[in-house]
Amino acid sequence: MDFILNGQAHGNLMKAGTAAALLLNSGFDPGVLRPYEVINNGKANHCMSVMNRQTGKYQEIGINNAALLRKDEWKDYDKAVVTAARNRLGAVQSLISGGLVYNLNGMGKTVMDYEKMSDVGEAELSMDGLSRGPNTRQTYDTGYLPLPIVHQDFQVGLRALSASRNGGNAIDTTNAEVAARRVAEKIESMYFMGASSYNFAGGTIYGLTDFPDRNTYDLVTAWDDAAVTGDDILASVLEMKQTALDDHFYGPFVIYVPASYETKLDNDFKANSDITIRERLLKVSGITDIKVSDYLTGDNVIMVQLTSDVVRIVQGMPITPIQWEEQGGMLINMKVMGIVVPQIRSDFDGRCGIVHGAV
């Protein structure tokens, strides 16, 4: 027996072939694949931090098997992964930071089911509150969102790890940064472009540009065209906003534009103007931000109402590095993985707070 977790004994942590079983037995807690060594008073202790299902809190427990990575080395990996991921998770990270996130145990689920319901009609108005309303029966429809793991692997040799320690250097986290960057880029790309080719259990991952219920708008001419003026761009934004209002979505709105439009938005709104096109657009009521994304291809412009009934991030597991060993511990396999999936939404009647402008 190596350790007791949630009342259950677990054996040989690092034995080949047990990594998947250990995840399964722990409720898919990634902490069981993050063992570390702690030096206290010259003595090496081997531990891992796992979720206690009874308290819902993480706790440090001792293990009998030797852990190759030290606690400070895991901290270096975690810092590298988080920093690299945040640099590439521009739009997705802003949604998470803004509270537009739904957390669940994604490792224990492959698909999330959700309901769309029809409107209940208007509320009643009375003095005593006793009059009965029409008791409108709502209609429900069930949808499904796949929860795939986005991951990238790399390896660390035991000799390279030993060399960095003997030289007094911090562990090289370049591979972890690259892996985290690739994972984050895939997640960010899904938010804008979707992953409609990936279907599972009757569900599809859609993005802002391919969600079937989104509103569409004809830009006529690309904004970076030399003939397009600030007034032209403003007129387009006002019409896109009106499209959202007509579908009963009233903001707040964020506008996403491709990288090719950024310089245009920094031009003067008019000749010799004291404000840029970007600044003028932000004066429109309800427009809270304009974000540039290199994941938007072509001449796509997206206006989105930032509320959870329009868009949110389903997070089954934050981007996290894990490890397991092979070849007698001479080779450390590392995997940066996360379950972070955009959920683009509409109501039962197909109304949606997204307006997709394209040429």
pLDDT string in tens for the chain (359-residue length): 344 444 444 444 444 346 667 777 777 788 888 888 887 777 778 888 887 767 777 788 887 776 778 888 889 989 999 999 988 888 999 999 999 999 988 777 888 988 877 666 677 777 777 666 666 666 777 888 999 999 999 988 888 888 877 776 778 888 999 999 999 999 999 999 999 888 888 899 999 999 999 999 999 899 999 999 999 999 999 999 999 999 999 999 999 999 999 999 999 999 888 899 999 999 999 999 999 999 998 899 999 999 999 999 999 999 999 988 888 778 888 899 999 999 999 988 899 999 999 99
Instruction: Report the C-alpha gap between 344 and 118 in whole angstroms.
Output: 17
Residue 289: count other Cβ atoms within 10 Å of its Cβ.
12
Which secondary structure element, helix H or strand E, spans residue 182, and what is its range?
A: helix 174-193
Q: How far is CA 333 from CA 4, 21, 83, 157, 327, in A?
A: 25, 17, 21, 9, 10
Tokens linked to 23: 């995840």
Please list the residues that pair with 268 across neighbouring strands: 276
> Which residue spans within the chain are E strands per DSSP?
3-5, 8-10, 36-40, 43-52, 57-62, 101-103, 111-117, 140-146, 150-157, 195-200, 203-205, 215-218, 253-258, 287-293, 301-305, 311-326, 331-344, 354-358
Contact at 8 Å (CB) between 334 and 155? yes
Q: Whole-model pTM? A: 0.83
Q: Where are the domains of the chain?
A: 1-67, 209-312+347-358
Superfamily holding 209-312+347-358: hypothetical protein PF0899 domain (3.30.2320.10)
